[in-house]
């Protein structure tokens, strides 16, 4: 079995990355100000992931000293999220809106751009939602144990 402290620190890194990605998804979706339901669902799902991700991180950190076996087990389960978290990171980086030097189009033009771009982003948004859903299911299972 690997060193429980290194496994725990790796798991905490994955969880921290998950928290960062969730925050970026929230910002991404808020930038579109409720243009469509897909973005709202992703924003809601990302919001709901922050609490269990923080809880798992805190449990692992606390258990490292008091119960290293539990910390190692939870760390292993958290590392299982790495693939989905990395896919989300890639999707977020690919879909984040680019704003040059703080320039923002007027609201009417932004709405028209969103309508044109949305069909190209729909599949990406769906994949993000599915990954968020998978992370949430894994977290619920892990935390319920």
pLDDT for 108 equals 67
Give residue-wise pLDDT tens across range 72-81: 998 998 888 8
34 backbone dihedrals φ, ψ, rounded to 5°: 55, 35
Average pLDDT over residues 45-66: 90
Across the chain, mean pLDDT equals 78
Identify the residue with better confidence: 118 or 33.
118
Give the separation between CA 75 and CA 91, rounded to whole angstroms.
24
Identify the residue with better confidence: 41 or 99.
41
Average pLDDT over residues 104-118: 63
Identify the residue with better confidence: 79 or 106.
79
Average pLDDT over residues 26-53: 76
Domains of the chain, by residue range, sit at 4-144
Average pLDDT over residues 34-60: 83
Alpha helices in 32-106 (DSSP H): 37-66, 68-79, 82-95
């Amino acid at each position: 079995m690997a060193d429980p402290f290194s496994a725990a620190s790796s798991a905490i890194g994955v969880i921290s990355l998950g928290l960062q990605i969730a925050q970026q998804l929230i910002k991404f979706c808020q930038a579109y100000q409720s243009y469509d339901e897909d973005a709202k669902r992703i924003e809601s799902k990302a919001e709901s992931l922050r609490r269990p991700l923080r809880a798992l991180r805190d449990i692992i950190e606390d258990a490292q000293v008091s119960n290293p076996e539990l910390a190692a087990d939870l760390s292993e389960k958290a590392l299982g999220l790495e693939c989905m978290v990395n896919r989300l990171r890639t999707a977020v980086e690919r879909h984040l809106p680019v704003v040059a030097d703080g320039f923002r189009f007027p609201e009417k033009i932004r709405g028209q751009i969103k309508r044109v771009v949305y069909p190209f982003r729909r599949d990406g948004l769906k994949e993000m939602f599915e990954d968020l859903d998978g992370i949430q299911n894994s977290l619920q299972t892990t935390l319920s144990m």
